[in-house]
Structure 1
Amino acid sequence: MATPHALVDTAPPAAPRAGTIHPLWVRITHWLNALAALTMMLSGWRIYDASPIFTSITFPPSITLGGWLGGALQWHFAAMWLLVFNGLVYLALNLASGRFLRKFLPVSPRAILRDFMAALTGKLSHADLSHYNAVQKFAYLFVVCDLIVLVLSGLAIWKSVQFPLLRELMGGYDNARIVHFCAMSLMAAFIAVHLAMVALVPRSLLAMLRGR
């Protein structure tokens, strides 16, 4: 028996919904980490200016945060707690969900060099934002390690008496300040490169804002 014309579904099939690239927890922790790291960097520059490690290197007050040493310290410590707790949540959820292994591993020097050369020649594809190339994997793993060094060297400076072993592992108080400064400089370089990559691939920013 023929199906009545009125019951025939003539509508085109619905297009499959695009999958989520970054789940909500990734986006929230990413932006909180970015806020904390940027706040610590700008306030840290003001703290550094109060007692420079390298007399030839100082930062213009206009690009620092806090207005004065006491204000900068308050901003710095507030952002520190946000960075530590939010960073722990980010790492724990990445490990528990298996996302860390899927997104960041495996990675090898050969793959990093290959993708880096492809990026320099404009041949590195960004069609699939859910997949990280080797350069991205290395950069994200690097910045996680760099932030850990920043926190540990900061503790060696802030609580030097309470954490003598950590202080000695850093080579003493003065060397801990140098380690902290170098780690901050590397983070600033990462942020600059990261922003440049976002400018080249604006879809990556949209994905981190809306998830897909």
Structure 2
Amino acid sequence: MKVIKEKHPLAMRWTHWVNFPILTIMIWSGMLIYWANDEYKIKLFGHTYFMFFPEWFYKTFNIPHRLAEGMAFHFLFMWAFAINGLVYILYTIISGEWRELVPQKKSFKEAWLVLLHDLHIRKMAPPQNKYNAAQRIAYTAIIVMGIGSLITGLAIYKPVQFYYLTWICGGYHFARILHFALTIGYVFFFLIHIVQVVLAGWNNFRSVISGFEVVNEPDPQPVIETPTPTDEKPIQ
């Protein structure tokens, strides 16, 4: 028997879908800024062996000479990213949803079993509630990454005014490395997330939009009434 059950509250869905275009614009505008000082590469004895973004990449996506535009978009949508993240965190704390998100002691062990199941190496999936162990770790990590991006971003944007943040991040240059690494992490998370959504199927994707999912439950067993004995004697 198919039953419709609520899975994702409106606030969770809203912050999830709002964050997608915001983060996309943040990464795009960040590339416009990064172009002006493209220094991260693998270089040895004066020879460059690998560049994260070669010249053809910048030209293909029309990135060069758009530094001012990139800074304007990046710092504007930074506020939207921060506010949306704050709403999400506050909601999970107030509503108690954090209990379903925060990893447990057994989550790291079970996450390996989830991976083996996704790779079709292990047939039986480990037990889960609303989220499995791998999702708990990933969704908590993305929150930590978001906080890290804000701290490192402010440390780069205003290294004098926010000198304490710059100091916590290990200096301006290391803060920039961390900010860049976190951005690459978002891209990998997004790609893996899309693959997982496709593997999970339409029912799971629909629940993130509507908030409800269709689950199969066993049909209720019919109740058979048995006659109760009485104290009356039969008529002779």
Please give the TM-score of this superposition, normalised by the length of structure 2.
0.75
Q: 1:95-106, aligned counterparts within 5 Å?
A: 95-106=93-104
Aligned-partner Cα distance in 2 for 1:211–1:85: 22
State the match for 1:114 in structure 2.
113
Runs of 4 or more off by more than 6 Å in structure 1? 64-67
Structure number with the higher strand fraction is 2
Q: For structure 1, which runs of at least 5 residues remain unmatched after alignment?
A: 1-14
The code of the aligned residue for 2:75 comes to F
Q: Per-residue deviation at 1:153?
A: 0.4
Q: 1:153 to 1:199 in 2, by over 3 A?
A: same
Contact 1:27 1:209 in 2 (8 A): yes
* Equivalent position SS for 1:19: strand
Aligned-partner Cα distance in 1 for 2:127–2:201: 12
Aligned-partner Cα distance in 1 for 2:164–2:178: 15
State the match for 2:77 in structure 1.
79
Q: Deviations over 1:137-157 (max 9, x none)?
A: 111111111111111100100
State the match for 1:39 in structure 2.
25
* Equivalent position SS for 2:5: coil
Contact 2:22 2:80 in 1 (8 A): yes
Q: For structure 2, which runs of at least 5 residues remain unmatched after alignment?
A: 42-50, 213-236
State the match for 2:143 in structure 1.
144
Q: Per-residue deviation at 1:102?
A: 2.6
The code of the aligned residue for 1:99 comes to E
Aligned-partner Cα distance in 2 for 1:164–1:106: 36
Q: Which has the larger radius of gyration?
A: 2
The code of the aligned residue for 1:24 comes to L
Aligned-partner Cα distance in 2 for 1:153–1:109: 27
Please give the TM-score of this superposition, normalised by the length of structure 1.
0.83
Contact 1:39 1:65 in 2 (8 A): no
Q: Per-residue deviation at 1:193?
A: 0.3
Alignment root-mean-square deviation, CA: 2.5
Q: 1:65 to 1:100 in 2, by over 3 A?
A: farther
The code of the aligned residue for 1:47 comes to I
Aligned-partner Cα distance in 2 for 1:89–1:153: 20
- Number of residue pairs matched by the alignment: 197
Which protein, 1 or 2, shows the higher relative CO under an 8 Å CA cutoff with sep ≥ 6? Answer: 2
